[in-house]
Each structure stands twice: as structure tokens, then as C-alpha cells.
């Protein structure tokens, strides 16, 4: 019986070492049920270890050890170490995770566990703000596992990492590679391929936008939308991103098109979290084509939004209310549309009761009243600033606020002097004696 078992062991060892790669993998699987584990070759161990930055010892690979009768003992331990490394990464214990994974990559383990360890090692480098190291490991991973279903995911990760590194050209090339690799590998169903392509196309458009290539970004977003592959919830986000790209275009036709898309967005998605931003972009586009009244209406709708909507995302709404009010009102003021600008300034002041917000808004409101020659209203507005001067203290006072107080006082006094001077001139005009008519000569 012992002699027969020895012959079986010799047979399996010879088969695994001498068989082709594909057959060897099959034999390895069968061998595992007999209590044997086929060793990795020198080349495989060296490649995996090099990818993780591990130095492999010189010399021949040790002779394979016969494992206990339970074939899951060693893989289970390796799997446990990979899981430990994953937990260490999540806890930001990057050095410990790297050491754990390096031991796995040096160990005699199934190829699938080596693949998982190498994948996790790249994530550790990436999360540890080592983008160059991560890219090196991802490249080695693609070289070793070029036919693995995870290839498109790795390419996508490489593209995102290159974009974070500021290398937008390489990022875009990786996103294109995601689509070609998915088609080559024939992964899953057609729906899965469409979703993968949609994600890659979206990232390409996003990269163009980040690179200030707004024409190409808008074109790509539009292309994605007209294919109809995006889900309804995705279409909402894509429409908003398309509007962001179009808001940077200067061609009059593009601006008019953006106005139409913005109005459509507000009708189709009235409860969207992007409504305040879209209203701002719409108001800005209307101003650029000279439709100041329509622009003002959009800003007032934003400023006077129902409290129910504002309460859902108060910080988002407040940001866009302030930005839209400031930018559009200032633009109208510069263009001489003082009346429309005044309506926005008056609504802006109620957004925030803090001195840091109300002082600048009130001061600009006073200037607007001056332009409209509403001297008393301007004086009252400057007095509102001076009336709250006593609220300034070392904790909330800034050079800007102190400067506004000084300017408000100066302008109030200037208006008073100007009105007094005008009254004096009028009094002199009406009190001056009229010249007597010259007597007729005889």
C-alpha cells in the first residue's frame, strides 16, 4: 500500500512539472484533492515579488512539500492574510498591509491568491498616496493577468489615478482602453458592456472638462445622452454636467442652446438637488445674451425658493443663492441696469444676518440707490451699517468690515454735504435780485 502511494505521488509531481501551462493547472486542481500542492515556478514568483517591490532569494526553488491531507489548510491561511491586509488598508495601516501582502506574494500559493494579493498591493500604494508605485504595480498586474476579467476595472483605476496625477492625456487613453478591453474579453452580457462603456465615456468627458476642453466635454456628454444607454437617474446628472460644460462656451448658438437645455432641465427635474446650480447657469446665460429681465427673474426664483426645498440641502442652496445673487447683481450694476440690480441686492441681504454678509450687501445697495438718485434711501442704508457698528468686536471684526464702516460714513456725509450745497445754490438763485431794466434814453 505504501509503495503504491509513493508511485502515485511521483506520477502527480512529474505531471505537474512537465505538462503545458493549461494542463498543469488542471492537474494542480486534481492534485489538491490528493493532498498535494504544485509549486509556483521561479519566473512566476520573481514576477509577482518584483511587482510588489520584494527581493526574492537566489538559488533553486525548494522541493515541494507534501501538505496535510486537508487541502484547504494553506489556501485558507493565505486567504486570511489577504483579508487581514485588506482590513489594515481600510484602517490606513499601510506599512503593515504592505508587509502582509509581500509575505503572501513570496509564499507558495495558488495563482488566484497571488493575483488577489497583487491587486490589493496596488490598492495599498494608491490609498497611501503613492501614485507612481501604484501605477507600476497595476502595469505588472496587466502584464501577468492580461486575460483576467478584472482588466477593464484595472484600466479604469489607472485612468482615474493618472487624472488625479494631472496626466490627462494618459488618463483618456486608459479610459479608451477600458472599452476596447471589455469588447476583446467579451465580458458578461451586452448590458454589462454598455454600462462599462458608459462609465468610460463619462470619465473621458469629465477629464476633458477638467482640462478646460469644454467643447469636447460638451460633445461627449451630448453623445452619451443621445445614445439612450444611460439610466434615468444617470441622465439627470449627465444633463447637469453637459450644462456645466456649455456654460463655458462663448458661441452665441451654444449659449442659446444652453438656455433651452437649462429650462428643460428645470421642467423635467424640479426636485433635483442641482436645481440651484442650474438656475444660476441659466441666469448667467440669459445675461450674456442681453436678457437681463429674464436673468433677474431666475435669480429671484432662486433667492425666494420654497423653504421646504432649501431645508433638504441648506448648504448647497445657500452657496448658489449667494453666488448667483452676487454675480448677476454685480453684472447688472456694471451694465447700468441699476433697478434690476437693486431688486437682487435687497433680496440678498435677507439670506444671512451676519455682519460679514450684510455689510457688503448693504453698502452695494447704498451705491445702487445713489445711482438712482434716491438720496434718502441711500443715506438710510448707510445708517443701517453704522447702526450695527457697535456689534464689531475683536472676534468678528476684519479689515474689510472696518473699511466698509468708514466708507459708509464717508458716503453718508458726502450725500449730506451734497444736498446741503444744492439747497444753498438754489437759495442763492432764488434770493438774488433781478437786474433792473435800463432806463430809456430820451
Output the pLDDT for position 219.
Answer: 94
Nearest one of 283, 382, 260, 373 to 331, comparing CA atoms: 283
Does residue 255 or residue 50 have the better pLDDT? 255
Which range has the worst mean pLDDT, 165-174, 221-230, 275-284? 221-230
Output the pLDDT for position 397.
Answer: 87
Contact 206, 176 (CB under 8 A): no
Output the pLDDT for position 438.
Answer: 54
Task: Over range 240-266, report the average pLDDT.
Answer: 95
Which range has the worst mean pLDDT, 29-33, 203-207, 229-233? 29-33
pLDDT confidence bin for 184, thresholds 50/70/90: confident
Average pLDDT, the chain: 81
CB atoms within 10 A of CB 80: 10
pLDDT, tens only, 91-100: 999 999 999 9
> Residue ranges of the alpha helices (H) in 271-337?
275-288, 292-303, 307-312, 314-334
Does residue 432 or residue 387 have the better pLDDT? 387
Classify 300 as helix, strand or coil.
helix
pLDDT confidence bin for 75, thresholds 50/70/90: low
> Residue ranges of the alpha helices (H) in 107-150?
111-127, 131-144
pLDDT confidence bin for 55, thresholds 50/70/90: very low
E strand map for 24-146: none
Task: Over range 228-247, report the average pLDDT.
Answer: 88
Contact 360, 348 (CB under 8 A): no
Output the pLDDT for position 39.
Answer: 36
Output the pLDDT for position 53.
Answer: 43
Res. 312: pLDDT tops 90: no
pLDDT, tens only, 61-72: 333 333 343 444
Amino acid at each position: 500500500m505504501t509503495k503504491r502511494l509513493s508511485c502515485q505521488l511521483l506520477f502527480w509531481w512529474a505531471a505537474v512539472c512537465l505538462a503545458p501551462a493549461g494542463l498543469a493547472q488542471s492537474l494542480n486542481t486534481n492534485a489538491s484533492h490528493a493532498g498535494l500542492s504544485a509549486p509556483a515556478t521561479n519566473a512566476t514568483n520573481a514576477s509577482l515579488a518584483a511587482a510588489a517591490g520584494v527581493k526574492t532569494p537566489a538559488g533553486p526553488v525548494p522541493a515541494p512539500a507534501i501538505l496535510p491531507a486537508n487541502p484547504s489548510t494553506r489556501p485558507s491561511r493565505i486567504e486570511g492574510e489577504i483579508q487581514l491586509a485588506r482590513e489594515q488598508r481600510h484602517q490606513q495601516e499601510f506599512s503593515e498591509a504592505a508587509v502582509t501582502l509581500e509575505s503572501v506574494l513570496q509564499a507558495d500559493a495558488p495563482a488566484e491568491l497571488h493575483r488577489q494579493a497583487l491587486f490589493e498591493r496596488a490598492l495599498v500604494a494608491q490609498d497611501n498616496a503613492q501614485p507612481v508605485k501604484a501605477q507600476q504595480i497595476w502595469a505588472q498586474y496587466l502584464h501577468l493577468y492580461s486575460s483576467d476579467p478584472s482588466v477593464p476595472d484595472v484600466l479604469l483605476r489607472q485612468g482615474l489615478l493618472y487624472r488625479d496625477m494631472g496626466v490627462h492625456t494618459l488618463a483618456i487613453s486608459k479610459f479608451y482602453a477600458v472599452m476596447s478591453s471589455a469588447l476583446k474579453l467579451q465580458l458578461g452580457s451586452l448590458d454589462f458592456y454598455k454600462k462599462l462603456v458608459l462609465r468610460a465615456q463619462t470619465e473621458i468627458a469629465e477629464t476633458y472638462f477638467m482640462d478646460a476642453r469644454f467643447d469636447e466635454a460638451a460633445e461627449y456628454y451630448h453623445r452619451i445622452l443621445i445614445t439612450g444607454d444611460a439610466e434615468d437617474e444617470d441622465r439627470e446628472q449627465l444633463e447637469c454636467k453637459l450644462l456645466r460644460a456649455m456654460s463655458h462656451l462663448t458661441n452665441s448658438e451654444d449659449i442659446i442652446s444652453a438656455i433651452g437645455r437649462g429650462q428643460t432641465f428645470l421642467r423635467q427635474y424640479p426636485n433635483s438637488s442641482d436645481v440651484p446650480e442650474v438656475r444660476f447657469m441659466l441666469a448667467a446665460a440669459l445675461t450674456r445674451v442681453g436678457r437681463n429681465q429674464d436673468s433677474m427673474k431666475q435669480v429671484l426664483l432662486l433667492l425666494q425658493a420654497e423653504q421646504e426645498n432649501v431645508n433638504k440641502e441648506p448648504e448647497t442652496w445657500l452657496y448658489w443663492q449667494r453666488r448667483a445673487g452676487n454675480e448677476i447683481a454685480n453684472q447688472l450694476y456694471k451694465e447700468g441696469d441699476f433697478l434690476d440690480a437693486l431688486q437682487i441686492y435687497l433680496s440678498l441681504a435677507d439670506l444671512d444676518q451676519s455682519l460679514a454678509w450684510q455689510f457688503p450687501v448693504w453698502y452695494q445697495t447704498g451705491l445702487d440707490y445713489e445711482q438712482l438718485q434716491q438720496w434718502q434711501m441711500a443715506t438710510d442704508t448707510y445708517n443701517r451699517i453704522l447702526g450695527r457698528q457697535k456689534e464689531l468686536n475683536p472676534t468678528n471684526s476684519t479689515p474689510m468690515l472696518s473699511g466698509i464702516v468708514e466708507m459708509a460714513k464717508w458716503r453718508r456725509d458726502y450725500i449730506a454735504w451734497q444736498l446741503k450745497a444744492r439747497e444753498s445754490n438754489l437759495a442763492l438763485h432764488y434770493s438774488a435780485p433781478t437786474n433792473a431794466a435800463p432806463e430809456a434814453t430820451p
